[in-house]
Amino acid sequence: MKRFQFAVLLFFIVLVTAGITTSVFVFGNGKNVLKERSEFEKLYTAYDTLNKEYYKKVDPEKVVNGAINGMFDSLDDPYSDYMDKEEAASFHENISSSFEGIGAEIQELEGHIIIVSPIKGSPAEKSGLQPNDKILAVDGKSIQGMNASEAVTHIRGEKGTKVKLTIQREGVEETLNIEIVRDTIPIETVYGEMLEDGIAKVQITSFSTNTTKELLTALNDLQQEGMKGLILDLRQNPGGLLPQAIEISSLFVPDGEILFKVEDRAGNIEEYKSSNNNNSDTPLVVLIDKGSASASEILAAAVKESANVPLIGEKSFGKGTVQTAQDFDDGSNMKFTTSKWLTPKGNWIHEKGIKPDYEVSLPEYASLPYISPDKELKVSSSSNEVKTAQEMLTVLGYDPGRKDGFFDDKTKEAVIAFQKDTQLEANGVLKGESTIKLMELVRQHIEKNDTQIQKAVEVLKTLIDA
């Protein structure tokens, strides 16, 4: 067995991504040398037998990698896996501040690769990917049984190249084929704006190297504009760098109060506390949803349990474990779960998520599936895509006459009206630019009629007036 060098101890690794920063918390350096032990005799015997007697030449590196992969598969832990040299290289690229891909956080769950959250402004978001979408195939090749690291190598790619994902979505009978053009993933992570009556909204899309700095700048600008209350939007935030989450949590949690705890296998618990004595006294509410994971859950739990900040939206994703990563001398890598993190009150949210104080869902049309622009929807067409298009037209105020998936003359009239209003060729056929524009306007409509934001404003006003 080869010796391996201990490279970095990661605390709170966000799920492996297909084009997004992976969070790292470095604790220290050291060595760990594997010693020869009797329990490995069976492994050696199997290796030697295959190497000598298999009917064709065995690739030693491939066989050893397979054996290590088998060890990690046996743990039945989606956050523990072995990465060969290529996968490890992708893993380390994710730690850098610049990357190219589709911009979606993915995770292996029960043999499936699922979307945790698309990133704001990313190709994944623009193409209509949603949390909990299952990726069945990439460019026609099945990825069933792959771990997240393996799947990433198929999904990621250079800016401008295309990748086609075959998606299974809950509540949709047919699979969806979504073509995405890879791009540079936006590294800006904080978006601030004034809403109404002195209420400001700041969205944090992930916790990257400069997130705290970006947030402080945004808050300062909003203060100058007369901010009286703040909505902190952590929806669709898959996590990121833990130190950033700690710094940001400390902005809103009183000095000395617990942010989170870490419990090891022996039951030993270490507490992490707020170290900022200049906390803001601006009334605050926080938005979460099923795409809020990892570091964003630490922040949400910290402000909820240590600062009595109301949470609004939907139950969060639920990741409450801690991982270690180690590099082998040949460039391969392994990461595995070492402990779990707990909320300030000692709650373990793993696979449970954080329940908001005010449960509010987005309108049903916010979950409408993606329509492939390559498909031609016209009179006499009958499909789920037509049904989705009819529902989208209805949302935008165009009457298709029916919403059962059959494209008739009334639906054509609605499409023509939509095309005329958007300066597109008014041919009554949904394809290409018309389909893309339809989906874009529905997304804009969802943003303008955001029921979760509306509830946040309502709650925040009561806090301001209190």
Residue 149 main-chain phi, psi, to 5 deg: -60, -45
Is residue 305 flagged as an active site residue? yes
Classified as helix, coil or strand, 117 is strand
DSSP state, 121?
T
H/E run at residue 406: none
Axis-axis angle for helices 433-448, 384-395 (nearest 10): 50
Q: How many CB atoms lie within 10 A of CB 53?
A: 8
In the set 319, 387, 412, 455, the catalytic residue is 319
What's the CA gap between 140 and 301, in Å, rounded? 40
CB 149 within 8 A of CB 113: no
Domains of the chain are 4-93 (no CATH), 97-184 (2.30.42.10), 190-321+340-362 (3.90.226.10), 377-448 (1.10.101.10)
138 conformational bin, left if phi > 0, alpha if psi -120 to 50, beta if neither: beta
For residues 222-233, one letter each, b for 16 or more C-beta atoms within 10 angstroms of the residue's C-beta and e for the rest, the string is beeeebbbbbbb
Is residue 294 flagged as an active site residue? yes
Q: Which two tokens stand for residue 354?
A: 């954080």
pLDDT in 10s for each residue of the chain, 466 residues: 333 322 223 333 333 333 333 333 333 333 444 456 788 899 999 999 999 999 999 999 899 999 999 999 999 998 898 988 887 876 665 544 447 889 888 888 778 899 988 887 789 988 889 888 999 999 999 998 888 888 988 998 889 999 999 999 887 878 888 999 999 876 788 999 999 999 999 999 888 888 999 999 999 999 999 999 999 999 999 888 888 999 999 999 999 999 999 999 999 999 999 998 776 789 999 999 999 999 999 999 999 999 999 999 999 999 999 888 888 888 899 989 999 999 999 999 999 999 999 999 999 999 888 888 888 999 999 999 999 999 999 999 999 999 999 999 999 999 999 999 999 999 999 999 999 899 999 989 998 999 999 999 999 999 998 7
Amino acid at 78: P
* Side-chain half-sphere exposure of 178, counting CA atoms within 13 A: 28
Q: Which two tokens stand for residue 294?
A: 């990892």
Q: Which two tokens stand for residue 321?
A: 């474990």
In the set 214, 305, 314, 385, the catalytic residue is 305
Q: What is the pTM of this model?
A: 0.75
In the set 122, 250, 294, 332, the catalytic residue is 294
What's the CA gap between 301 and 460, in Å, rounded? 18
| Largest pairwise CA distance in the chain | 80
What's the CA gap between 117 and 133, in Å, rounded? 9
For residues 405-418, one letter each, b for 16 or more C-beta atoms within 10 angstroms of the residue's C-beta and e for the rest, the string is bbbbeebbebbbbb
Is residue 448 flagged as an active site residue? no
